[in-house]
Structure 1
Amino acid sequence: MSLSERLNEDMKQAMKSQDKFKLSVIRMVRAAIKNIEIDQRKTLDDNEVLDVLNREIKQRRDSLQEFEKAGRADLAENLQAELAILSEYMPQQLTDEEVKAIVEQTIQEVGASSKADMGKVMGALMPKVKGRADGKLVNQLVQQSLS
């Protein structure tokens, strides 16, 4: 079952169980996917749907930080619940140790030796961890390894 089909099935299930919150989150994601499909005039595959999900999760994490800084616990709690629902559709996340091992392996593969090679490393590394690791964490680990 593709990711889009799973979203559709979960939306139907949320309607049947009258879970309005989950239904609204899934509809929001499906609307974002549909907008991109309309813009690109094609149906998105699972990798492209994962990109949309990643973007939505990143937006919520950024907003969550801002709400916590502003002391808006009510809004932060709502975003936490949305993040939990969106995370169900993401592949299993890599541990920090697994990410470190992939970073080291990629640095060896591209022959990087200094921070000037960071672009090469990131270009080769991101497809390997796409959707399974946070970009900020990957960036930090690459910087640490190259310094």
Structure 2
Amino acid sequence: MSVRSILGAGPSAPRLVRGVLVLLLLALTVGCAGRDGRQVERASLPSGWHGEQGQASFYADRYHGRRTASGEAHDRNALTAAHRSLPFGTRVRVTRLDNGRETVVRINDRGPFVRGRIIDLSRRAAEELNMLGQGVAEVRLSPE
């Protein structure tokens, strides 16, 4: 059975088929986008990125539940972080330099936008690095 026989052989049938195909393609394209319509980046490190060193801070509790730049809600109990340029979904090893403690986080937000800071960690990640008391710690980021 052909599409023509289902829709009828009238002259508007090819236009109708084309319209249905366009709508189907549009629906598939929108399904690949984030909540706000932007394409969601997937985890792959930029070529040549081998890590960086600087200060880490962590989110204040008031940000729990607020939307991140990736569109998901910030969860202070998840191992997530904000970075200025690494793609969303990238997993990064964070090592605190003065005590050697490590954790692996997934990038899901943008920031921090404070000079000298290179990553903003969730509360859980900051706990794993034992930095809640200080608020800021010197860290090294490396590919996971």
TM range (shorter): under 0.3
TM-score, structure 1 length as denominator? 0.24
Q: Comparing both structures, which one devotes a greater share of its residues to strand?
A: 2
TM-score, structure 2 length as denominator? 0.24
Q: Who wins on radius of gyration, i.e. which is larger?
A: 2
Q: Comparing both structures, which one devotes a greater share of its residues to helix?
A: 1
Which protein has greater RCO, CA pairs closer than 8 Å, 6+ apart? 2
